[in-house]
Amino acid sequence: MFLVAVARPRYDHHAKKMWDGKVGVRPFIRAALALRSSKNRPKGTPVTVPVTIDPKVYFDAVVNKVVSAILSKFPGCRDRGYVSIQQDNASPHKCVTTELLHAQGCDASRYESALTHLHERLGEEAHMEAMVNSLDRLLEPVRGKYRD
């Protein structure tokens, strides 16, 4: 699972160039030791495993990764004093409430000028183009698609 934050491309008046709208892509993975051996690896080999997305993990990712990335990359964001976030209504997303985002310096109520759209389609598309059989091999095509 990937958390991708993008915005509409726009002109950055301070840098005098176009900003591409890419805020960041964050994979939800962790390193663990293999519990069983297989024909590909022995037991105890370090492997990459996905992290279960629960409200606590999602809230931590949005507040600590996405909001800070938006504040550092989005043109003119600090001048306005707020960040608008648009997200779908999946159950882990419900933990990110307007009150909690206000405490972090965000404004989640302004959907008409939505800054960020969170989705995982980028990971799905990269997986379809490149044949991968492990999570480690999936990371590079997704990051490559994000850079394109």
**Domain definitions of the chain by residue range:** 2-147
Reading phi first (left if > 0) and then psi (alpha if -120 to 50, else beta), residue 105 is in left
**pLDDT tops 60 at residue 126:** no
Q: What is the pTM of this model?
A: 0.61
**CA–CA distance, 41 with 47 (Å, rounded to integer):** 9
Q: Which two tokens stand for residue 130?
A: 């490149």
**CA–CA distance, 122 with 116 (Å, rounded to integer):** 15
62-120 residue pLDDT tens: 888 888 888 788 777 666 666 677 776 666 666 776 666 667 666 554 433 333 333 33
Q: Amino acid identity, residue 114? A: A
User: Which of the two residues, 32 and 97, has the higher pLDDT score?
Assistant: 32
